């Protein structure tokens, strides 16, 4: 495969991802194949960044499983490198976010983490074997009717509202 074909293929894949994204506004809920995605602005304030005024928005996104089926990802080993990012349900991108002051340009809503307490034997400072406990992730789940949410801070140019697109990753 030559360079032009690779470039064309990557361009088409990027375009496909963009085409599947839908715009979402404050207070709106979109249905993405049974996943209800809600986006809300919780707080707005004006901030100064390097002598310029910007609007700072605290936003919350939620996803509710209305599909009637459960989604599960089991980890094979811990950490399971192949499942990194595997718990993502939806991704919201703020096209006009500046990323100033280490703020976000995107917001992911993830599945809940299934965690297990594992007991293991180890030697303490006196050399005696004792039981220790550690909590490890075993996988991710998103059950019917379950609602999960996440928040972020978007800084946008003064006078603008966040221009947010959402796409389903599940």
Give whole-number Cα distances, 127 to 121, 123, 130, in Å. 12, 5, 9
Exposure on the CB side of residue 129, measured as CA atoms within 13 A: 3
Looking only at the bridges linking them, the beta strands covering 112-123 and 147-157 are unpaired
Residue 94 CB coordination number (10 Å)? 23
Domain membership of residue 16 (yes or no) is no
Domain membership of residue 145 (yes or no) is yes
The number of distinct structural domains making up the chain is 1
Of the two residues 137 and 152, the one the predictor is more confident about is 152
Domain membership of residue 7 (yes or no) is no
The tokens 């470039």 sit on which residue? 7
> pLDDT tens digits, residue range 14-33?
444 445 799 999 999 999 99
> pLDDT tens digits, residue range 57-107?
999 999 999 999 999 988 877 565 555 666 899 999 999 999 988 899 999
For the question of whether the overall pTM of this predicted structure is more than 0.75, the answer is yes
Domain membership of residue 4 (yes or no) is no
Q: To the nearest 10°, the Cα dihedral for 150, 33, 12, 110?
A: 20
């Amino acid at each position: 495969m030559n360079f032009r074909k690779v470039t064309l293929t990557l361009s088409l894949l990027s375009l496909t991802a963009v085409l599947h994204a839908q715009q979402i506004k404050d207070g709106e809920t979109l249905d993405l194949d049974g996943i209800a995605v809600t986006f809300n602005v919780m707080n707005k304030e004006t901030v100064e960044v390097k002598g310029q005024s910007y609007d700072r928005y605290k936003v919350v996104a939620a996803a509710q499983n209305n599909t009637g089926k459960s989604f599960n990802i089991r980890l094979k080993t811990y950490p399971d490198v192949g499942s990194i990012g595997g718990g993502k349900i939806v991704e919201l991108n703020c096209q006009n976010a500046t990323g100033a002051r280490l703020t976000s340009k995107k917001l992911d809503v993830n599945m809940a983490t299934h965690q297990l307490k594992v007991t293991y034997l180890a030697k303490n400072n006196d050399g005696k074997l004792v039981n220790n406990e550690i909590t490890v992730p075993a996988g991710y789940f998103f059950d019917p009717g379950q609602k999960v949410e996440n928040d972020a801070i978007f800084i946008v140019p003064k006078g603008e509202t966040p221009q947010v697109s959402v796409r389903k990753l599940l």
